[in-house]
Amino acid sequence: MLANLTDFDLRLIRVFLAVVDARGLTAAQAALNVGQSTISTQLSSLETRLGFRLCERGRGGFRLTAKGERFAMSARRLLVAANSFCAEAANMDRQLVGELNLGLIGHTPFSQNARISDAIARFRQRDQAVRFNIQIRSPGELEEQVLNGKVDIAIGYFWHRVPSLDYTALFIERQYAYCGARHPLFERAGEANAVGADEAAACEWAWRSYPLPEAQHSTHERNVTAIADNMEAVALLILSGHHLGYLPVHFAKPYVDGGLLRAVNPAALRYDVTFHMVTRRAPHAGDIQRAFIDDLRAVHLNEMAPEAAL
Distance between CA atoms of residues 191 and 185, nearest Å? 11
Mean pLDDT of 218-233: 85
Answer yes or no: are the C-beta atoms of 100 and 288 closer than 8 Å. yes
pLDDT of residue 183: 96
Domain boundary among 56, 90, 124: 90
pLDDT tens across 15-40, in order?
999 999 998 888 899 889 899 999 99
What CATH code is carried by the domain that includes residue 227? 3.40.190.290
Does 2 map to a domain?
A: no
Residue 204's pLDDT band, with cuts at 50, 70 and 90, is: very high
**CATH classification of the domain holding 45:** 1.10.10.10
Could you tell me if 291 and 159 are in contact, meaning their C-beta atoms sit under 8 angstroms apart? Answer: no
Same domain, 255 and 225: yes
The predicted-structure confidence for 263-286, as pLDDT tens digits, reads as follows 999 988 998 888 889 998 866 678
Where a domain ends, among 66, 90, 114?
Answer: 90
Residues 50 and 133 in one domain: no
**Cβ neighbours, 10 Å, residue 30:** 9
- Provide mean pLDDT across the span 209-223: 73
Residue 52 domain boundaries: 7-90
State which of 90, 122, 142 marks the end of a domain.
90
* Whether residues 101 and 77 fall in one domain: no
For the cut 70, the answer to whether the pLDDT of residue 233 exceeds it is yes
What is the total count of domains within the chain? 3
- Are residues 196 and 264 part of one domain? yes
pLDDT of the residue at 85: 78
**Predicted pLDDT of residue 235:** 93
* Pair 54, 164 in one domain: no
Q: What integer pLDDT is reported at residue 215 of this predicted model?
A: 65
Tell me: do 165 and 279 sit in the same domain.
yes
**pLDDT value at position 302?**
52
What confidence score (pLDDT) does residue 16 get?
Answer: 93
Sign of the Cα torsion 99, 151, 158, 111 reads: positive
pLDDT at 310 over 60: no
| Helices and strands, number each (H, E), in the chain | 10, 11
